[in-house]
Structures are given as C-alpha cells and as structure tokens.
Amino acid sequence: MKQFLKNYPFLTLGLVPYLLLGCGGTSGNSSGRLDATQQALSLDWQRVGLLTPAAVTFQLQLLGSVSSPTVGGRVLAADDIFTSGTTAYISYNLGGDTLSGSIDQVTNVNSVPVLAASVGFPTTKINGLFRNGSDLFAVGASSGADGPAVIKKFNVADPLLPSSLIATLSQAIGSYAGVGVIQRGTSIYALAGDDAINGGLSVYDSSLVRSSFTALRDARGIAYSSLNTGNMYVVAAQPGRIVEVTTAGTVVQTIALGGAATPESKSTISVGKTMMIASIGEGGAKVVCRADGHILASISAPVVAGLSPGLTVTNAVAAGQGLFFAANGEAGIYVYSMKDSAPTGSVCNTVTLSVLGSIPLGSGLSANNLKFVDGTLYVANGLGGFKLISVVSTPSVGDNTDFN
C-alpha cells in the first residue's frame, strides 16, 4: 500500500537540490543506477487464479530498470510519473515524516532508455509532477517556511540540473502534503490531500497566484480528457468518488465509486474520449462513463496468499490498445483485456475486463503507479525504482480504444 502520511515541519530550511549523478557519457549512467538489460517478460497466469494460460495478442519486453536513488542516507520509493514525448519524469519519496525527495529524468528513444539526470531534494518530498515547455511544477511537502504542503515552479532546461531546479516560485497550498498537479491552458491545478478543512483543489495562474479553492476531502488525482475538451475530474476518497469540476474549479457532479476508505492512501484517474478509469485502493478499480456516470466495469483488489490485503490494494490504473493495467502494490501489475460491446443501460459502450496474468516485478516491492503511453508501460515500483516495459500488441475485434 502506498501512503501519503501527514507531514509536519520540523525546521526551516530552503529547498536545495543537488545532483545525484553526472550527465556525461553516452549512457547517462555514471552512478550505475540504470540497468539497460532487455529481456522478454511472460505473464504469470497462475498468480491471478487462472487454471490455464489465457490467449494473448501482445508481447512484453523489459527495456530497462532504474534503481531508487538515495537522499540523505535513505533509499527513496518511486511514486509518481509524468511523461512527455519520449521523456519520463519520476518522483521519489518516503511515507511518514521523512521530507526527502528526488526527480529522475529518463529518455526512451528507439526503445533505449537513458537516465539523463537525477536531482535530490533533502528537505522536500516530491509527490507529483507536471511539465509544460520550460516550466516544471512539483507538489509535495517541505520543511521550509512555505510548507508543509507546497507547490513549486521551476524554469528548466534539458537535462535537468540543480541550477535549474531552484524553485523560481513557491507557494503553500494548505493541508499536510500536495499530492497532484496538472496544467491546462494557462491555469495550474494542485491537489492537497487528506484534510477535511484545507484539503482540496487550488487553481493558480502562471505566477502561482491562487484564483480559487474548492474543498474536497482526500483529493488524490486529477485529469482531463485526452481530447482536451470538457471538464476535469478529481478522484477522491473516504468515500471513493469522482468529482467533476469546471476549469474554474466549480463542482458539477459527484459520482460514487465506493472503496478508497483507507486514509492517506493512493488513487489515480485517467480520462479517455468517453470513459474514465479510477483506482480506489481496497475497492479495486472502476471504468466509468463520462456522459452519465454509469459504472461500466469493475475489478477487485487481488487477494494473494501470504500477503496482507493492505499490501495488495489497487494504487493506479492505465489503459490503451485493448488492455487494462492495474498496479496492485506488492501483488504487482495485473493485466486485463479490455473489450467493448453494444451499450446496455448507458450511452457508453459496455466494457468487459478479463484478467490475463500478472507482470513479475520482484518480491516485497510495491507497484505504486503506472502510465501506458504509445506502447510503453512506465512503472513506479516503490523501493524497486522505475521500469520501462514495451508492449507490442496486435489489434483484435472488440478492443477498447478509448484511451489510445
């Protein structure tokens, strides 16, 4: 289970980033953290309870792994992922009161990953990232005067260097920790977590001047349509729900999901053309129609012999090319086929999710987050660091393409 535990300031320190590795050479791997060994991966069909292997129309190839960085003598856990083109940005942190964080920049050109840069933050936990052009936004928790929950804006160049990761702007956002950030147009949207009074959605301009605040208890993730149209959607917890909001932050409707009852845990949301997918912890995940809020499909959090249910909750989900991926903590990543059929009881197509197997990630490691973009699966594997997996699929009849 990935937790966002409450954070309290201990002392006042500035955010002082420092380089964790050199960026010279051809591999960007001077620290030895990148293992670019490629290998074919097979689904574990027995782990998911199948009696025989399922027929699959795709191949999995591990492209590379990046081990977790060490900041202040502590090994950090991979938590959030933002992708832009062939570049991924990964945030690292630890649960509890440990206010240390790190950002990796990993490029993936022609299926060859390169750890371009890694920057550590000894006094700031990094929970969420978003980059647009030369602007990099980060939210988390800090022991500085602007903490504990903060949003920071950096003016960056490539590769990321400490000199460009001194925050040009920084603002407190209330609550104990910032947990998510996105930009749409000229507005920046930041979420603060489990705080009934100060937690919720803040809307900022490009200078980080806040224009509005909407109280949303235990807000965890925010997204908008891949078509860049319509309203935005926040997945929140206690209870699990999706809250539709306008670009001004006004609540339009709330869709009940259930689940997500564990305080300060992780949930994600992705918005396709007509559908949304959301992870809700011990409640598994849901596929929801954007137009009418109808629940189109559900999966349960897995039960794995020898593991506590609290370690196998569904932290994150992603979809595309007729496939559905669920990051289930120490149960690893479960893979499902995602098929459409004629609408029944909703204006959206009916969706069927059928489990195919799990991707092995290592014993005792937690699949905290994932993204599936253009045939590449990006995985934040907790203390196991970051993985890139190629997914080469052959289209078949009925494949859901809402998230392509």
Task: Map tokens 């000229």 to a residue.
Answer: 186
Dihedral sign, Cα of residue 318, residue 319, residue 323, residue 324: positive
Burial grade of 189 (CB within 10 A; 0-12, 13-18, 19 or more): buried
Parallel, antiparallel or unpaired: strands 241-245 and 101-109 = unpaired
338's tokens: 């995602």
Place of tokens 């690292």: 92
For the whole model, what pTM was predicted?
0.93
Residues of the chain with pLDDT under 50: 3-14, 21-30
Closest CA to 385 of 84, 14, 106, 52: 106
At 371, the amino acid letter reads: K
Q: How far apart are CA 87 and CA 375, in angstroms?
A: 14
Domain residue spans in the chain?
18-393
Amino acid 400 reads N
Closest CA to 63 of 38, 86, 81, 82: 38
Q: What would the two tokens of residue 195 be?
A: 């705080």
Rounded CA-CA distance 384/361 in Å is: 8
Candidates 52, 47, 54, 2; CA nearest to 305 is 47
What does the pLDDT read at residue 23?
35
- Find all residues with CB under 8 Å of 55, minimum gap 6, and list them: none
Q: Tabulate helix, strand, coil % of the chain (nearest 5).
A: 0, 50, 50
Determine the pLDDT at residue 20.
64
Alpha carbon 343 to its chain's center: 30
User: What angle is formed at CA 325 by the lines to CA 58 and CA 296, rounded to 5 degrees?
Assistant: 110
CB neighbours of residue 70 within 10 Å: 16
Q: What is the pLDDT of residue 98?
A: 82
Give the pLDDT of residue 19. 63
Confidence (pLDDT) at 215: 94
Give the DSSP H/E element, type plus range, for residue 255. strand 251-256
* Tokens describing residue 320: 């595309």
Amino acid (one-letter) located at 284: G
Contact 131, 117 (CB under 8 A): no
Distance, CA of 382 to CA of 69 (rounded, Å): 11
The side-by-side arrangement of strands in the sheet containing 187-192 is: 178-184, 187-192, 200-204, 210-215
Structure tokens at 249: 């932050």
pLDDT of residue 29: 40
CB 294 within 8 A of CB 288: yes
List the one residue out of 44, 28, 6 whose CA is nearest residue 359: 44
- Domain made up of 18-393: CATH architecture: 7 Propeller (2.130)
Contact between residue 335 and residue 357 where contact means Cβ atoms under 8 Å apart:
yes
Place of tokens 């289930």: 328
**C-alpha to C-alpha distance for 297 and 302, rounded to whole angstroms:** 16
